[in-house]
Structure 1
């Protein structure tokens, strides 16, 4: 399984000939260094509807004729915008062709912006993505919550992608607790440095994880790791 980081909270995951992209905030994020026109994907997976996660979902899905996978309310919004969508909800799992998706809870918000107005877009979520027998956990935007222990007990998580930016999500200290509770072998930090209010020291975060023998991969945009 190859995992490529495209900045902020966007991961591109490829294994067994299948390609999925999670939270593709690309054209609106100058740090991504990637155009949505460059993305070839079999599915777009969304954790929630905020602009810095919903991003270029519609354009990528239409160009690749692939579904957007999201919680029900957000999926129906994608359909209204002309994209194909597969609606799911918290706790549900589905076996697609070549990969499995399960949605977990997350503690955050989820709304769609139309002009100066924001509309409810269903619950925010985390994603357990399994490809070729390996499972990664994308926590989405969330605080630390106790059921991460249960997620770790029920799943063999090869890699956890966790927000560390603080202010809107967990900060580094809470993310270390999350990694331990998830029993994650590796961690990729997400949702940091994109805006001044979420700047973080990834070296310090990596050192904190290292105290618990957890490997940290603070990737730069377009960098890939294989697991």
Structure 2
């Protein structure tokens, strides 16, 4: 599984022959790319309807969008997306060579039309090459994109022990999401081997030094390796999995 961070909460995930783009928003200072520079993925996953997570979904209208039913319907109407898969919290769907499990995120939501309207429940997504079961699969590769969220005990009680992510991308920007210390606690609760800070430095209220996050993770006693990626820098998770 190859993971590429394009700044903010935008990730490109390649798993075997399947390409997945999460929360396309390229108007951020961490990427040098425009949507036109990005290969059209097979699937686009949306965690929630805020503009800084769906802004460029229309540039990938040939892909199949996976989101909650309400958000899938919204982007179909407003962005010209033709193919959608509506799923909901707790569900798992098969998308090409990957399985996507949707979990809640503690956040707010809204769709920016002529009138601000309330949206559906924000989410995080867990992407794996095997379908989640209660039987541990040491060879599986699993990536958790937490979306915009605050710290929540489901990370400790459900996502970590049962969905068993090897790596997690966590927001550290504070103000609208977790900050460095709460994201560090999340890292410890998830018991991941690798963690990536995201959703920071895009706007003045969420400017952060990711080294603060690294120090906070160390302070928890977690063994997770913190990877502060440059924008558009790939990370090969497959090379880190040991059986």
2:76 is the alignment partner of 1:69: no
The structural deviation recorded for 1:32 is: 2.1
Aligned-partner SS, 1:157 = coil
2:229 is the alignment partner of 1:219: yes
The structural deviation recorded for 1:30 is: 4.4
- Aligned residue in 1 for 2:48: 48
Figure out how many residues of one structure are paired with residues of the other and give that number. 222
The structural deviation recorded for 1:120 is: 2.1
C-alpha contact 1:210 1:216 (8 A) present in aligned 2: no
C-alpha contact 2:48 2:122 (8 A) present in aligned 1: yes
Distance in 2 between the 1:68 and 1:219 partners?
A: 26
Segments of 5+ residues of structure 1 without an aligned counterpart are none
Distance in 2 between the 1:31 and 1:203 partners?
A: 16
The structural deviation recorded for 1:142 is: 0.5
C-alpha contact 2:43 2:95 (8 A) present in aligned 1: no
- Aligned residue in 1 for 2:126: 128
Segments of 5+ residues of structure 2 without an aligned counterpart are 131-139, 238-243
- TM-score, normalising length from structure 1? 0.93
2:151 is the alignment partner of 1:144: yes
C-alpha contact 2:185 2:217 (8 A) present in aligned 1: no
Q: Which has more strand, going by share of residues?
A: 1
Distance in 1 between the 2:154 and 2:30 partners?
A: 33
C-alpha contact 2:29 2:202 (8 A) present in aligned 1: no
- Aligned residue in 2 for 1:86: 85
Distance in 2 between the 1:23 and 1:47 partners?
A: 7
The structural deviation recorded for 1:200 is: 1.0
Distance in 1 between the 2:110 and 2:21 partners?
A: 20
Distance in 1 between the 2:84 and 2:117 partners?
A: 19
Distance in 2 between the 1:214 and 1:31 partners?
A: 23
Aligned-partner SS, 1:37 = helix
Distance in 2 between the 1:162 and 1:101 partners?
A: 17
- TM-score, normalising length from structure 2? 0.87
